[in-house]
Amino acid sequence: MLYLVDFSVIKPDAGLIFWTALIFLIFWFTVGKLAFKPIAQALKKREFDIQNALDEAGKARAEMQNLNAENERLITEARAERALLLKEASDTKNEIIAEAKLKAKEEAKKLLEHAKVEIDNQKNAAIAEVKNKVGMMALDIAEKVLRKELKGNKEQEVFVNQLVDDIKLN
Amino acid sequence: MSGMNIKSLLTLVLVVASVSLFAQADNHTDSSHEQAAQSENSHETDNHDDQDAHSTEGHHDECAFHHEQDPENFNPQQIAFHHIADANVYSIGPLQLPLPCILYSKESGWDIFLSNKFEFDRLGHGAGYKAFNRYVLDGGSVKRIADASFPGGSVAIEGFKHKEIVVDGKKKEEAYICYGGNEYKLDAKSTLDGGMFGGGITSFHDFSITKNVTAMILVTLFLMWMFLSIASAYKKREGMAPKGLQGFIEPVFTFMNDEVVEPFLGKKSLTYLPFIMALFFFILGLNLFGQIPFFGGANVTGSLSVTLVLAVITFLVVNFSGKKDYWQHIFWMPGVPAWVKTILTPVEMLGVFIKPLTLMLRLFANITAGHIVIIIFVSLIFIFGKVGTVPAAGYGAAVGSTVLTLFMMSIELLVAFIQAFVFAILTASYIGAAVEEHHH
């Protein structure tokens, strides 16, 4: 037999009990107070912080979505307004063009009328002048005829005809 | 680079260890023949000297510091019991280191000294060549010479002698030392089992810083350093992600908090968290420390004394935090017919004590069993090799034993965690039941 030892671990030993109790109690109170509790609190706080951060991120995302929707709405509204404005502008343009055309026509008509009146006036003046000139010529002719009458009838007749032809040529 | 160094160091340690083991075995076989011859002589003289009820046998009746091993007397059970026992020396591999002895006897009061006063071999098994103030070191633990006529101070002794006697049909072993031609009976230290497990109050008490106490101090200091530095990391790095040691321990801590403390204790969890965590990490640290090979293998959580303390503290915490509802459920269970209460009350009252008792026994039995199984597996080498006389079989068995031991060690690693966890979760559930407020 190498050693005389029995199953000694099962025998409660006052020395070991004393030291175990002392060491365990010291361990419990110091590490419990200085480490386990602060660690647990720090972990709890961090857990809380992480949850908060996640919640806030979720909220921010929701807000972002709302904002996007609002933007979308504004853009569509702006587009519609632009379309409306463009349409109005083109309408106004057409109106203006139409009015301008109308005015131009009227103006042209007036001008034509003026021109006609002028032309008539000129014509009448010209006719009056022609009449005057014909009268003058007739008088001339008559004068000349009268002077020729003194020379012969036949010759008078040729002469008058020649005069008449002259008038026609004019 | 460092990996290489560690590997070569490990190889060196293993080679040294195995060489020294086999060298020892060889020595044993060399000298066992002489010893056998000697023992036959002394056997006869002994028989002539005292022919009383003592049934003496084999090497028991010779005075020696080293009892030789041979295939007949190789007893793995004794080796296992020696290795799981507490000791007054600390062994790292084959190296024996002295520890402080704090001893008290009614006759001579307190004796405080370092156990190298016994002059044991540095590479031995803790047999002291000298007695000091009537104390001797036998098999690593201090014993006391009961006879008051033995001189005090430092005295060289001639050897130890172990006898097996039968008292009331039970085998009991007695130890003696030889000095000046006389044999002096040795007292083992006092134990508190009241003779139930073969111990009892003897002539002295041992309050030494033993191997187990040393292991406990080392582990506790390590845990304190670790947790205090982690706690300061939480303070310094507040709001930042965990790092290093902090990140290593945090999952374990969080697991224990979320799976053990919170579910059972709810709102009161912060009050009891330090206790549950202290229990868990104390037990886990000691379980794991005891499994480091060649480092003493201190069987701390496999000592009933240690688990007893933890169980008693748990018992006190549970019952001192017991609320009105807890005591009402023990003594007068509400909502149950009166005749049932007469059965239930004694059962519940027993339960108050059985709960910590099972805590104590479960941890003790699991850890001790693990240590014993590993020692027995290693002993297989010496059983098959017939203690060095058949080296080839020994080498063969070494291969199988290594595989078995590795397997067992990995299981023990698991057991170390499981038992610490089980102790903690049961304690949490007992406290939870004690502080719970029922609404009927």
So where are chain A's domains?
24-169
* Every domain of chain B and the residues it spans: 2-209, 213-435
Report residue B7 as tokens. 């590997």
Residues of chain A positioned with their CB less than 8 A from the CB of B253: 39-40, 43
B388-425 residue pLDDT tens: 788 888 888 899 999 999 999 999 999 999 999 999 99
Mutate to test the interface with A, among B227, B283, B284, B317 (most CBs of A within 10 A): B227
Residue pLDDT, tens place only, B141-164: 899 998 888 888 899 998 888 887
Q: Which residues of B are less than 8 Å from A46 in CB distance?
A: 239
Mode of pairing for the β-strands spanning B170-179 and B182-187: antiparallel
Contact B139 A4 (CB under 8 A): yes
Predicted confidence (pLDDT) at residue B4 exceeds the cutoff of 60 = no
pLDDT at B18 > cutoff 70: no
**CB contact set of B400 (below 8 Å; sequence gap of 6+):** B380
Q: How many residues does chain A have?
A: 170
| Chain A residues within 8 A of B194 when measuring between CB atoms | none
Is residue B84 within 8 A of residue A9, CB to CB? The reply is yes
Give tens-digit pLDDT for B335-383: 888 888 888 899 999 999 999 999 999 999 999 999 999 999 988 888 8
Angle A11-B375-B85 (CA atoms, 0-180°, nearest 5)?
A: 25
What does the alpha-carbon distance between residue B385 and residue B135 come to, in Å, rounded to a whole number?
37
Residue B299: C-alpha distances to residues A5, B359, B366, B394 (Å): 15, 17, 11, 27
Cβ–Cβ pairs < 8 A, chains A and B: 193
Length of chain B as a residue count: 440
CA distances from B55 to A3, B238, B388 (A): 18, 71, 29
Question: Is 0.95 surpassed by the pTM of this model?
Answer: no
**Given this model, what pLDDT does residue B384 score?**
86
Per DSSP, B390 falls in state S
Q: DSSP character for B116?
A: G
* Residue linked to tokens 């004394």: B305
CB contacts of A35 in chain B (<8 Å) are 224, 227-228, 230-231
The DSSP-derived string for B209-275 is --HHHHHHHHHHHHHHHHHHHHHHHHHHTTTS---HHHHHHHHHHHHHIIIIIHHHHGGGHHHHHHH
In sign, the C-alpha dihedral spanning B54, B59, B60, B64 is positive
Q: Which of A12-16, B141-145, B288-292, B323-327 has the lowest mean pLDDT?
A: B323-327
Pairing of strands B141-145, B154-156: unpaired
Alpha-carbon B322 to chain mean position? 33
The whole-angstrom separation of Cα B378 and Cα B21 is 12
Confidence of residue B8 (pLDDT cuts 50, 70, 90): low
Tens digit of pLDDT for each residue in A105-135?
Answer: 999 999 999 888 888 888 888 888 888 888 8
Does the pLDDT of residue B187 top 50, yes or no? Answer: yes
A46:B139 CB<8 A: no
Helix axes B76-84, B338-384, angle to 10 degrees: 120
Residue ranges of A 5-64 with Cβ closer than 8 A to chain B? 5-21, 23-28, 30-43, 46, 49
Average pLDDT, chain B: 82
